[in-house]
Amino acid sequence: MKVTLDQDRCVGSGQCVVAAPDVFHQREEDGIAVLLEESPAAELAADVQHAATVCPALAIAVEGHR
Amino acid sequence: MTTTVDRTGHDPADVSSYPMSRNGKCPFDPPPELYAHQEQGPLAKVRIWDGSTPWLVTRYADQRALLADPRVSADVARPGYPSPAPIPKGGSAISFILMDDPEHARLRRMVTAPFAIRRVEAMRPTVQKIVDDLIDDMLAGPRPVDLVEAFALPVPSLVICALLGVPYTDHDFFQANSKIIIKRDARPEDRQAALGRLVGYLDQLVGTKMTEPGDDLLSRLAARVGSGELSRMDAAQMGVLLLIAGHETTANMIALGTLALLEHPDQLTRLRAADDRALVSGAVEELLRYLHITHNGRRRVALEDIELDGQVIRAGDGIVFPNDIGNRDPEAFPHPDTLDIGRDARHHIAFGFGVHQCLGQSLARMELQVVYGTLYRRIPTLALAAPLEEIPFKHDGSVYGVHELPVTW
């Protein structure tokens, strides 16, 4: 599983942090998301996929997971 | 049969008016007409107050896709924008919710930090104390009591005023003016005047914070005024937006959510017995989905031609997104009209979707988690003090809820 995050699109909703706190974080200064783990462990796949689903800006892409 | 058929194939005379009325017997459900439109989908035309006929998009997947589509604009000043009410002369864009990127993103990013998950979680003990104190006061006072006045409105007021750095002594002033601004049938000049009073007040407060900053959001905006990144008027307008957005909405979720739970005692029992936070936060998501209090439809205008299932939304056409019916789409939520606090409802669109999705959603969620996790445990015998038929619902505002909720215990 490979995760990408487009910070230019991010609107700082923080929903990815709620869905997958081990994979996403928010910058202190403006709440924009930060990707902590580009290749998360397989057991986090559902959480990461959910993070991508609820991202309002469609800034998260997940490859290699179905 | 018809003589005039517009390019969508609809007879203009058949176009239904929007917003539509709810069925009085189902106060928690969207208007019946919206269900019919969703079933027929994906596109219909509706007539709004000014006689124009924007598109109506009712299915969950289409609403999500189009609200996140950069070919769709939230700019109220664009021709074709289906404004929910007359736009006052001289313009009064309530800051960035009615702008497009890049200006929208620039302004929004100045105020996102306090709403980040970690910062919101740090406020949880403060919110818990506000909730506990208000419940103490209620229990010590007479009954029945109006839950809206005694609890639902003060909770978010205290929280958002603390966040912004607005003194609580000015709370009544804000309450009165924000009510006028969101009232659907308010006269444009009255709405404009109320907005002017709030902006004027916050402009003064920003000035104060420039010389005497505190640890609050307005002080952070004041610092950006000082450094020239933001005009003082922009800062004041952003303050007004955040205050109004966080006030009536959360209050209505508290009161209407309580009413919905009292009318679904099996769900209330389940919630009261829950000792894990996951069930409480699941209940918050489900109530957000089920109640969907912003019932005036989200409004946009197309910047380019957009094809949807063989039909074309033309550049310049207005689009209305009633997310209340999107949250009842059986394709996205099985048995959508059932309130089930145990379901996974996290993908609901009660906060909208796309770059304009509610900025304060994490704060709202946390407040509701504290409220729903505390109120019914501390007052386990909480009950309606009037029959449901006598509860006055807010059919006339842009935010749905109840004007009053008499309760006893």
> For B123-146, how does the pLDDT look when each residue is reduced to its tens digit (9 = 90+)?
999 899 999 999 999 999 999 999
pLDDT tens-place string over residues B181-202: 766 677 889 988 998 898 899 9
The residue among B152, B150, B388, B144 whose CA lies nearest residue B264 is B388
Mean pLDDT of B112-121: 91
Mean pLDDT of B262-282: 93
Which bin fits B112, alpha (ψ -120 to 50), beta or left (φ > 0)? alpha
Chain B CA closest to residue A47: B346
Asked if B357's CB is within 8 angstroms of A31's CB, the reply is no
> Which of A8, A9, A26, A47 should we substitute to test contact with B (largest number of B Cβ atoms within 10 Å)?
A26
Among A14, A29, A57, select the one facing B117 at the smallest CB separation: A14
Q: Could you give the CA distance from residue B75 to residue B301 in angstroms, rounded to a whole number?
A: 8
**What is residue B91's predicted lDDT score, i.e. its pLDDT?**
47
B101/B364: higher pLDDT: B364
* Number of domains observed in the structure of chain B: 1
> Which of A11, A22, A54 should we substitute to test contact with B (largest number of B Cβ atoms within 10 Å)?
A11
Percent of chain B's residues with pLDDT above 90: 64
B215 part of a folded domain: no
Residue B312, min C-alpha distance to chain A (Å)? 23
Check pLDDT > 80 for residue B6.
no
Q: Within its chain, how far is the Cα of B336 from the centroid?
A: 20
Mean pLDDT of A37-55: 96
**What is residue A66's predicted lDDT score, i.e. its pLDDT?**
53
Asked if B112's CB is within 8 angstroms of A11's CB, the reply is yes
**What is residue B12's predicted lDDT score, i.e. its pLDDT?**
55
Two tokens, residue B292: 């969907």
CB B271 within 8 A of CB B376: yes
pLDDT tens-place string over residues B384-400: 999 999 999 988 777 89
Check pLDDT > 60 for residue B2.
no
**What is residue B11's predicted lDDT score, i.e. its pLDDT?**
53
Check pLDDT > 90 for residue B279.
yes
- The one-letter amino acid code at B101 reads D
Kindly report the CATH number assigned to the domain that includes residue B17: 1.10.630.10
ipTM score here? Answer: 0.93
**What is residue B88's predicted lDDT score, i.e. its pLDDT?**
61
Q: Could you give the CA distance from residue B121 to residue B365 in angstroms, rounded to a whole number?
A: 10
B174 part of a folded domain: no
Q: Could you give the CA distance from residue B186 to residue B91 in angstroms, rounded to a whole number?
A: 16
**What is residue A51's predicted lDDT score, i.e. its pLDDT?**
97
Asked if B347's CB is within 8 angstroms of A14's CB, the reply is no
* B330 three-class SS: coil
**What is residue B376's predicted lDDT score, i.e. its pLDDT?**
96
Mean pLDDT across chain B:
89
Kindly report the CATH number assigned to the domain that includes residue A13: 3.30.70.20
The domain of A47 spans 2-63
**What is residue B89's predicted lDDT score, i.e. its pLDDT?**
55
Return the sign of the alpha-carbon dihedral for residues B272, B277, B279, B283: positive
- Residues B85, B86, B87, B89: what is their CA dihedral angle, to the nearest 10 degrees? -160
Instruction: Band the pLDDT of B154: cuts 50, 70, 90.
Output: confident
**What is residue B24's predicted lDDT score, i.e. its pLDDT?**
80
* Number of domains observed in the structure of chain A: 1
The domain of B93 spans 12-153+247-408
Instruction: Band the pLDDT of B1: cuts 50, 70, 90.
Output: very low
